[in-house]
């Protein structure tokens, strides 16, 4: 059994491929979230990246989950990718108005950015932080705000010190072309713990997985060794008194619920 200060869930619950493997075949899709919440205590909502959430939508999600359940919601793409944090105060307010319908169940706002090169809106980390600074001041402390960057050259003291000053959580993200968080921990240690919680997005390599399968109903890649590395990292973080929230994608091993189940089994091994 996982400790109460370690929560592990998946990135999204609305996956048709999970019918018959995670969801009962005869369960209607509008019953999936309630079923999910019987098994896991948290989920990262990916749908809000593509569509601005509405108060009705968030209220319905809250009603379908038990009191202790918690949501992480991705900020809309129009804010993080299209406008890159500028001129989007109205977008943020719509997001916050919807999230408010969840009450304490809204635990994390996730700001996931794309790769910025020298010809982009943010040619370097300094330019990025100049945009993030005023935007972050508009984000209320009722939730923890998570920042994921996808330029490996940006991970260093300038970014981490800024995030710590603003109490924004640095996303420990395992994804394409980025250094693995266990490697970052070996280099930076608890300097990576910039917010009130450690937030991990265990995403994987989408293109490689999609070349192997088009149906995400079972594990197809052995991730036991890598999972043990994550477990060692999380034990170290918990030892610092910082809670851990982790979310698996289908693209990590082929089936996100199966990745969580593997994590739970391996957690029981003696360190």
Would you give per-residue pLDDT tens digits along the chain (271 residues)?
Answer: 899 999 999 999 999 999 999 999 999 999 999 999 999 999 999 999 999 999 999 999 999 999 999 999 999 999 999 999 999 999 999 999 999 999 999 999 999 999 999 999 999 999 999 999 999 999 999 999 999 999 999 999 999 999 999 999 999 999 999 999 999 999 999 999 999 999 999 999 999 999 999 999 999 999 999 999 999 999 999 999 999 999 999 999 999 999 999 999 999 998 7
- Closest among 217, 216, 239, 231 to 263, alpha carbons compared: 231
- Render the burial of 35-54: b for 16+ CB within 10 Å, e for the rest: ebbeebbbbbbbebbeeebe
Categorise residue 241: left if φ over 0, alpha if ψ from -120 to 50, beta otherwise.
left
Q: How far apart are CA 31 and CA 44, in angstroms?
A: 17
Beta bridge partners of 108: 72, 144
Distances (CA, A) of 181 to 20, 144, 193: 33, 20, 12
DSSP 8-state symbol, 268: T
**pTM recorded for the entire structure:** 0.97
Q: What domains are defined for the chain?
A: 6-267 (3.20.20.410)
């Amino acid at each position: 059994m996982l400790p109460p200060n370690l929560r592990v869930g998946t990135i999204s619950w609305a996956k048709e491929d999970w019918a018959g493997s995670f969801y009962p075949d005869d369960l209607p899709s509008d019953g999936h979230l309630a079923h999910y919440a019987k098994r896991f205590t948290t989920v990262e909502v990916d749908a809000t990246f593509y569509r601005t959430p509405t108060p009705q939508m968030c209220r319905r999600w809250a009603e379908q989950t038990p009191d202790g359940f918690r949501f992480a919601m991705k900020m809309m793409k129009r804010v993080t990718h299209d406008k890159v944090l500028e001129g989007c105060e109205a977008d943020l307010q719509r997001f916050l108005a919807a999230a408010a319908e969840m009450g304490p169940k809204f635990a994390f706002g996730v700001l996931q950015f794309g790769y910025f090169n020298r010809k982009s809106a943010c040619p370097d980390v300094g330019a990025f932080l100049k945009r993030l600074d005023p935007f972050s001041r508009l984000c209320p402390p009722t939730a923890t705000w998570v920042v994921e960057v996808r330029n490996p050259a940006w991970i260093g003291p300038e970014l981490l010190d800024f995030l710590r000053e603003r109490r924004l959580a640095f996303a420990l993200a395992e994804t394409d072309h980025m250094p693995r968080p266990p490697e970052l921990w070996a280099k930076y240690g608890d300097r990576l713990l910039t917010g009130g919680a450690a937030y991990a997005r265990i995403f994987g390599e989408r293109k490689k997985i999609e070349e192997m399968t088009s149906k995400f109903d079972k594990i197809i890649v052995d991730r036991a060794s890598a999972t043990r590395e994550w477990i060692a990292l999380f034990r170290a973080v918990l030892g610092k008194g910082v809670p851990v929230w982790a979310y698996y994608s289908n693209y990590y091993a082929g089936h996100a619920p199966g990745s969580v189940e593997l994590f739970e089994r391996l957690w029981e091994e003696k360190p």
